[in-house]
Amino acid sequence: MKLSKTTVGILKNFASINTNLLIKSGSKLTTISGQKSILAEVTAAEKFPLDFAIYDLNAFLNAYSLFQDPELQFTDKFVSMTEGGSIKYFASNPSILTVPTKAITMPANPEIQFDLSENLLANIIKTASILSAPDVSFIGDGTEIRVVVSDKKTATANSYDTVVGTTNLTFKANLKIEYFKFIPGNYSVAISSKKISKFSSKNSDLVYFMSVEADSVI
């Protein structure tokens, strides 16, 4: 089998969340951060023939990058990457990996829902880096939903503020910018009072579930 550029991009993104990855037989790919604060899942274009545990996904991708478009053959013990020459990349023991153990279900009728454009998402991440701001807050005042990028512990911290939608509710949902490890794109966002958020790609079935900070008021 061969990997599409889209799937390689997904694997690179997943490596930024957790370098452990357990590929399950079939097409569903999932990963979870070591702190269990962000989980991502997507359906790949490929169908993987068997379960294959990767301890260091970056090392796997570095090996893959030595070829232009290699053929992959999975076995229980290793995967062969072949294009002229060949590399054997050996499987890890699944028991030592940090992997999702159960599916996450978003609570029905989440209180907060809005869209986040690719440009705005990129701006949030870039601005947070420039301002050294660790927090992203989605704030509803009964009329508008605003996103505020700041350090919520410091009243005089530099901040970024813009409107992202409308609402008839009042709330403040706090998230950590360190969890914003998204593939660029347009997303539908849902945030629940159960302190969980869901970012769903508008271009595919890619989904990120992210924990909401305990000091949020929803």
130 and 67 part of one domain: no
pLDDT of residue 136: 97
**87 and 126 share one domain:** no
pLDDT digits (tens, 9 = 90+) for 6-44: 999 999 999 999 999 999 999 999 999 999 999 999 999
Q: How confident is the model at residue 105 (pLDDT cuts 50, 70, 90)?
A: confident
> Which residues, 6+ apart, have CB-to-CB distance to 7 below 8 Å?
29, 44, 45, 46
At residue 102 the predicted structure's pLDDT band, cuts being 50, 70 and 90, is: confident
pLDDT at residue 104 tops 90: no
106-174-199 Cα angle (round to 5): 40
Residue 80 domain-assigned (yes or no)? yes
* Mean pLDDT confidence for 121-149: 96
Q: Are residues 130 and 59 in the same domain?
A: no
- Asked if residue 107 is part of any domain, the answer here is no
pLDDT recorded at residue 146: 97
Residue 170 lies in a domain: yes
Domain boundary among 96, 123, 140: 96
Q: What is the pLDDT of residues 157-180, one digit of tens each?
A: 999 999 999 999 999 999 999 999
Query: Can you give the pLDDT at residue 103?
Result: 84
Look up the CATH number of the domain holding residue 153. 3.70.10.10
pLDDT per residue as tens digits for the range 179-191 = 999 999 999 999 9
Would you list the DSSP string of the chain? ----HHHHHHHHHHHHH-S-EEEPSEEEEEEE-TTS-EEEEEEEEEEESS-EEES-HHHHHHHHTTSSS-EEEE-SSEEEEEESEEEEEE---GGGS----S---PPSS-SEEEEE-HHHHHHHHHHHHHHT--EEEEEEESSEEEEEEE-TT-TT---EEEEEEE-SSEEEEEEEGGG--PPSS-EEEEEETTTEEEEEESSSS-EEEEEPPTT-B-
Does the residue 218 lie in any domain? no
| β-bridge mates for residue 90, sequence order | 78
Residue 68 lies in a domain: yes
* 59 and 140 assigned to the same domain: no
Averaged pLDDT score across all residues of the chain? 96
Tell me the chain's radius of gyration from C-alpha atoms.
19
Structure tokens that stand for 148 in this block: 């505020």
Q: In the predicted model, what is the mean pLDDT of residues 92-112?
A: 92
Do residue 12 and residue 91 come from a single domain? yes
101 in a domain, yes or no? Answer: no
Q: Domain range spanning residue 202?
A: 112-211
pTM of the entire structure?
Answer: 0.93
Number of domains in the chain: 2
Same domain, 118 and 203: yes
Q: Are residues 57 and 89 in the same domain?
A: yes
- Angle at 51 (CA atoms; ends 45, 52), nearest 5 degrees: 95
pLDDT tens per residue, range 54-84: 999 999 999 999 999 999 999 999 999 999 9
- Domain assignment present for residue 103? The answer is no
The answer to whether residues 82 and 116 belong to one domain is no
35 & 85 share domain: yes
What percentage of the chain has pLDDT greater than the value 70?
100
The residue among 200, 40, 33, 192 whose CA lies nearest residue 106 is 192
Say if residue 162 is in the same domain as residue 83: no
